[in-house]
Structure 1
Amino acid sequence: MESKPNFEEIDFQKYLLVLQRRWLPTVGIFTIVTSFATLFAFSLKASYKADGSLLIRTNETSSLTGLGEAIGKLESLTTTNNPLETQAKIVTSVPVLQETIRTLNLKDNQGEPLKIRDFAQKLKIENAKGTEILLISYTDNDPVLAAEVVNQLMKVYIRNNIEANRAEAASARKFIGQEIPTTEAAVKEAESNLRKFKEENKIIALETEASIAVQTISSLEQQISEAQAQFVNVNARAQKLQYQASINSQQSVTFASLSQIPGIQQVVTQLQEAEDQLAIEQSRLQPTHPMIINLEEKITALNNLLQNRINQNIGNNQQIPAENLQIGELRQRLIEDFARTETERVGLGKQITELSNKWYAYKKRVNVLPRLEQTQRQLERKLKAAQTTYEALLTKLQEVQVAENQNIGNARIISPALIPDQSSGPRKLIVIAAGGVVGVIVALIAAFTLDLIDSSVKTLKEARELFQYTLLGVIPSVGRNIKRNYLEQQIPRIIGREIPHHPVGDAYQMLQANLQFLNSDKKLKAIVVTSSVPQEGKSEVAANLAVTMAQLGQRVLLVDANMRHPIQHHIWEITNAVGLSNVMVDQVALNVAIQQPIPNLYVLPSGVVPPNPVALLDSQRMAGLVNSFTQEYDFVIFDTPPLAGMLDAAVLSKLVDGILLVVRPGVINYDTANAAKEFLRQSGQQVLGMVINGMNIKREPDSYFYYSRKSIESNVSRNSLPLK
């Protein structure tokens, strides 16, 4: 089944159409809301608002004396909070309000003490932007009382503020008095601990000692480095002398005796001269030169001679280098140099040892100094903290003693409330206007809500989109006056006969023309006129269509096939004693049952209501009658019951050329329309098209395509045209 379409594009014209459809509840709701607003406006009593202001500040006396300035000082706990907001809450606190009510003996309308809640509703506290001023206002019907309340409230707040500051100072004084002895003992203990520490570690000035120790260590390190350098040089020289002379105790005696033998000294001298000459010649001659070879041979011979003479003198085969056999003076000098160098080396070794011992001693002290400094700083911090706390407590004790004796708070009245001379309540016109605005809003909400929950098909466009059948005609509504007569008659009437030249007649002529040109191959002879539900005007459409065709010169037969609720005999004011049902059971002849109310129009009423109308319509007799009707008349129109729950139209439509479906916006809803459409589809009915009946031109956005509103409104008659 199809569901109600969702119209996403809604323009202002469609909004206006909704208001036109729901004008009655819209106007009613607007009237009710506006009326209540008007009554409320005139029932309001005059109210007066008295204003006063408080300056919230730091205690001036404390600021001037420098004592107790923290008592009562307003500070915010966070950067985002305003301390004036806290004071505003204090002004409206229960104790302050209760004291004000009690002092002024405020009563309510019943003579009972005014409740805190009611009192607070009349009270307003604001912070003057960019200042430290609180604006206090109170609204009451009595202007004198309003001013008294504001002034008394400010006095109560200031008195409570002073008492709170005193209480705070007294509490602080008591607390400080209890803490001073403990803090004093802590100072003495910290001083004793620091003194003991310095005595035990022999500390006078750690920073000075550390500086001196660092300098001493640096000096010792320099001295050690210099002594070590000297030791290295002396040791190297001694080793060199020992290496050059190969000096030891035994060799020194041997060298001394050999140096005194002339033969050995002579050979040594010759050997040295030969070696010197060889060195000179090697610098300018090749190694294979004869002179080089001769010198080398000479040196070898001299070495051999020297060794022989040594062996002859010392009696063993000990090999002694020739360079060690210098003259006695040189050898003696070498021995003396070696002795002096060895003595110097031993002295430097002892000096290095002594300097190193001093360096280690100072280094050990320096390594301990950071720990001692850390401990000393900790003890000094404890002492300083204890002293600071002690001094602060002494200072605060003096401050709170002064603050406790003061009689000044941190607020003062800068503008007392004056008796207001003008009412501050809302003006009546403003209340009425606001009520009108609210009324419009509520009325609009109600109108659109009703339209949303209304599931009926409201416009021609919705009907076309829902059924999707060919639109053969649009029958407009004829106005309010005719609808008023509808309540009196309840019987459809023939607009073409009773209201000549009415625009509705033009609509039926258009319908007749569309039916004639619907099928160019086969001319329509018989149709069934039905609707989805009752009250859509199918009988009216059938009757007026028959009149239109008859006026055009066609012989038209209008058959009232609605044997459940017949209406055509009332429309034409003819008898229903005999009719279709009687003819089908052969109770009366056809020519007797058919009546002619106007020229070219013949009406066959339904006759006596049978027990089973469907059985009569679905019979061979009915098929024969339809065949004879189409042969004798130019056009046959069957007025049948609606499709909802009845098979009459479906059964009869199989015997004719098709169904003309009448749709009346505002009567049919989406559920019944979908059910009717699905029924026609499943039963395989031939639907020629549909007629939109009772269309309200003013409520159709596209109505100008069909009719002129002016022509219709100017030709509407006061005669009724009720629907069935």
Structure 2
Amino acid sequence: MNANYPVISLKDYVKAIFRHKAVVVITFIVIITGTIIGLELKTPVYHARVTMLISAEKQIDSPYYTSLSGAQIQQLTPSGIVNSNPVIKRAVNVLKLHERPADYEKQFCSPLKARLIDLRLKRSKSNDNPSFDEPSYRFRMAVEGLKENIGVEPIRDTNLFAITVSDFSPEAAAEIANVVSRSYIIFDLEQQLAELRLQYGEMHPNVVQLKDNISAMIQNLHGKILPAIEAIGPATVKIIEQAEVPLAPTGTNKRTALLLAVFMALFAGIMLAFALEYIDHTIKSPQDIVTNLNLPHLGSIPRNGYRKNGCMNGVKRGTVSAQFYQKLSDNLCLLIRDKNIKSLLIAAATPRERSARVSANLGNLLSTKTGQKVIIIDANVNAPALNRVFDISEGPGLADVLERKVPFEKATQEIRPNLTVLPAGDTQLEPALLLESTRMGEVIKIAKEKYGLVLIDYSNVVNLRDTCILSSYLDGVILVVSEGQTKHHVLKELIESLNDKKVNLLGAVLDNRTFPIPKVIYKRI
């Protein structure tokens, strides 16, 4: 299989989730919080339904109705008539909906929604609307509100249609639906009455009969369930099924909605974690070093592998940090013996990354394991680091030796037997000029003669000229790559340039390594 397309295992997916666990948790909290607030702001609404029939037949014949055909009956679906002012105003008057308090919803909503209703009413009154409390205004608002809560839907391939009424109270929803449907029947009878009055006069028996029918329907203009024969009525529009009190509000109940939100929040969080992992092109694992950079992985240093100051002698034996350093130093010991290496450049892959602590701890361990004298030279003249790591004085150093201000021996500081440090020193000259001078080669030659192993720390390997000059005096280069900071393409370009300059790259150390998967889970996948 192509090395650029490694096999993705279950651990890689789990690692991506745990690496971005903060994003998953935040996404989960935001979605669940938003869902809970949304549910709190949503007052349960009940729907009551009345089924009606357009028959185009009436008790009193009229040329208008007898001339209707089946196709014309279908066109009489009364969505507009049900919501007309004569029908709605009669229902509002009968039910006294205009006398409902402005904060009627507060009886059924959550405390949070109740506060918002209070704020909305307070704001409306603060606008100094003089008509806000007038009866005519309240009546008009009740009519418009009822129209918004009524739905009329034809039932396909039949002469039936349904009137649906919404309300916060299930009893009120059923009552309003029944009153509206009966008000519509009364309106239909009144249209017949008006036609017959024009045709036959006020005293005609048919007119008198229609008046009696209208009076009887007005007596039944309430929300209670009527006997079927009384509910059907004599009009061309007949009630087939009266509205009953709904048992449950419409929509998904809160428990189900919250459960769905939990699954959606987890799914969204995990998908977002995968998306962030996909667009993150930084080095994140030893496998990335081998696969993407085509370099040997020499070892890793965990994120908590450093103390604020000090090197390996500040890390307790047996700790996780010490174990990683031990493994890294063991690998380097084998490399040093197999390839007869006497000098190494330990360099950070980008200027932001520091290699000083890695150099310090490796020098400390290698001086013990190899039994040779080890010197660590700080080549970071523009940004000294080893003096802080070892907590030593900022005396003369490499820069002073390169400027011939002090001899080599006077600038070195012995940390302990077999371990010596040459600090960076201080200079007023351009650091690049010092490192590129022939004197730098002489200093490295002196160090090789006096010590068994020479380690040079340099944290600006992107400066190819300096890196190539330094590496020409040494046996090999080790890159220090920080997890989650160094991008693949930056490193690839850097490595290609170093290879073109014939730099001997021995491998890479993954610094700042994290282990996002908990140990308990890691062992089981």
Verify: 1:27 aligned to 2:17, yes or no.
no
Note the C-alpha offset of 1:562: 0.8
Which residue of structure 2 lines up, in the alignment, with residue 197 of structure 1?
none
Measured at CA, do residues 116 and 474 of structure 1 come closer, stay the same or move farther in structure 2, by a change above 3 Å? farther
1:472 counterpart letter in structure 2: L
1:429 counterpart letter in structure 2: R
More strand by share: 2
- SS state at 2:165 partner: strand
Which residue of structure 1 lines up, in the alignment, with residue 13 of structure 2?
15
Which residue of structure 1 lines up, in the alignment, with residue 292 of structure 2?
466
Measured at CA, do residues 9 and 97 of structure 1 come closer, stay the same or move farther in structure 2, by a change above 3 Å? farther
- SS state at 1:559 partner: strand
Task: Give the whole-Å Cα distance in 2 for the aligned partners of 1:164 and 1:455.
Answer: 76
Verify: 1:568 aligned to 2:392, yes or no.
no
Task: Give the whole-Å Cα distance in 1 for the aligned partners of 2:469 and 2:90.
Answer: 90
| Count, aligned residues | 454
- SS state at 1:697 partner: coil
Task: Give the whole-Å Cα distance in 2 for the aligned partners of 1:685 and 1:16.
Answer: 38
Which residue of structure 1 lines up, in the alignment, with residue 497 of structure 2?
679
Cα offsets for 1:341-391 (capped at 9, x unmatched)? xxxxxxxxxxxxxxxxxxxxxxxxxxxxxxxxxxxxxxxxxxxxxxxxxxx
Note the C-alpha offset of 1:605: 0.8
Task: Give the whole-Å Cα distance in 1 for the aligned partners of 2:158 and 2:475.
Answer: 92
Measured at CA, do residues 45 and 8 of structure 1 come closer, stay the same or move farther in structure 2, by a change above 3 Å? farther
Whether contact under 8 Å (2:299, 2:327) holds in the other structure is: yes
Note the C-alpha offset of 1:546: 0.8
Verify: 1:525 aligned to 2:342, yes or no.
yes
Which residue of structure 2 lines up, in the alignment, with residue 158 of structure 1?
185
Cα offsets for 1:228-249 (capped at 9, x unmatched)? xxxxxxxxxxxxxxxxxxxxxx
Task: Give the whole-Å Cα distance in 1 for the aligned partners of 2:404 and 2:433.
Answer: 15
Which residue of structure 2 lines up, in the alignment, with residue 456 of structure 1?
282
Verify: 1:416 aligned to 2:239, yes or no.
no
1:538 to 345, 355, 358: 355
Which residue of structure 1 lines up, in the alignment, with residue 110 of structure 2?
none
Which residue of structure 1 lines up, in the alignment, with residue 476 of structure 2?
658
Whether contact under 8 Å (2:345, 2:458) holds in the other structure is: yes
- SS state at 2:415 partner: strand
Which is higher, the Rg of structure 1 or of structure 2? Answer: 1
1:469 counterpart letter in structure 2: L
Which residue of structure 2 lines up, in the alignment, with residue 440 of structure 1?
266
Whether contact under 8 Å (2:91, 2:183) holds in the other structure is: no
TM-score between both structures, scaled by the size of structure 1: 0.54
Cα offsets for 1:270-320 (capped at 9, x unmatched)? xxxxxxxxxxxxxxxxxxxxxxxxxxxxxxxxxxxxxxxxxxxxxxxxxxx
Whether contact under 8 Å (2:380, 2:457) holds in the other structure is: yes
Task: Give the whole-Å Cα distance in 2 for the aligned partners of 1:8 and 1:637.
Answer: 34
Which residue of structure 1 lines up, in the alignment, with residue 167 of structure 2?
140
1:40-439 maps to which residues of 2 (within 5 A)? Answer: 40-59=38-57, 71-75=67-71, 83=74, 87=77, 89-90=79-80, 99=89, 103=93, 106=97, 113-114=140-141, 119=146, 122-125=149-152, 133-159=160-186, 161=188, 408-418=234-244, 427-439=253-265
- SS state at 2:454 partner: strand
Note the C-alpha offset of 1:56: 3.8
Note the C-alpha offset of 1:98: 5.5
Whether contact under 8 Å (2:344, 2:475) holds in the other structure is: yes
Whether contact under 8 Å (2:83, 2:150) holds in the other structure is: no
Whether contact under 8 Å (2:303, 2:514) holds in the other structure is: yes
Cα offsets for 1:448-486 (capped at 9, x unmatched)? 3433443323333233222111222233344xxx7xxx8
Whether contact under 8 Å (2:387, 2:394) holds in the other structure is: yes
- SS state at 1:75 partner: helix
Whether contact under 8 Å (2:315, 2:321) holds in the other structure is: no
Cα offsets for 1:424-465 (capped at 9, x unmatched)? 675433343343344334433433343344332333323322
Which residue of structure 1 lines up, in the alignment, with residue 36 of structure 2?
38
2:506 to 661, 685, 688: 688
Whether contact under 8 Å (1:530, 1:642) holds in the other structure is: yes
Whether contact under 8 Å (1:640, 1:648) holds in the other structure is: no
2:240 counterpart letter in structure 1: I
CA RMSD, aligned part only?
Answer: 4.2
2:37 counterpart letter in structure 1: L
Measured at CA, do residues 10 and 523 of structure 1 come closer, stay the same or move farther in structure 2, by a change above 3 Å? closer
Which segments of 5 or more consecutive residues in structure 2 lack a partner in the other structure?
A: 104-120, 122-131, 133-137, 200-205, 214-233
Whether contact under 8 Å (1:515, 1:524) holds in the other structure is: no
Which residue of structure 1 lines up, in the alignment, with residue 329 of structure 2?
512
Measured at CA, do residues 628 and 88 of structure 1 come closer, stay the same or move farther in structure 2, by a change above 3 Å? farther
Task: Give the whole-Å Cα distance in 2 for the aligned partners of 1:424 and 1:434.
Answer: 17
Note the C-alpha offset of 1:579: 0.9
Measured at CA, do residues 6 and 649 of structure 1 come closer, stay the same or move farther in structure 2, by a change above 3 Å? closer
Measured at CA, do residues 436 and 100 of structure 1 come closer, stay the same or move farther in structure 2, by a change above 3 Å? farther
Whether contact under 8 Å (1:162, 1:409) holds in the other structure is: yes
With a CA cutoff of 8 Å and minimum separation of 6, indicate the structure with the bigger relative contact order.
1
Task: Give the whole-Å Cα distance in 1 for the aligned partners of 2:501 and 2:148.
Answer: 72
Task: Give the whole-Å Cα distance in 2 for the aligned partners of 1:61 and 1:8.
Answer: 84
Measured at CA, do residues 519 and 604 of structure 1 come closer, stay the same or move farther in structure 2, by a change above 3 Å? closer
Note the C-alpha offset of 1:139: 2.1
Verify: 1:494 aligned to 2:311, yes or no.
yes
TM-score between both structures, scaled by the size of structure 2: 0.72
- SS state at 1:691 partner: strand
Measured at CA, do residues 639 and 166 of structure 1 come closer, stay the same or move farther in structure 2, by a change above 3 Å? farther
Task: Give the whole-Å Cα distance in 1 for the aligned partners of 2:78 and 2:283.
Answer: 61
More helix by share: 1
Which segments of 5 or more consecutive residues in structure 1 lack a partner in the other structure?
A: 78-82, 174-401, 710-724
Note the C-alpha offset of 1:694: 2.5
Identity of aligned residues (%): 23
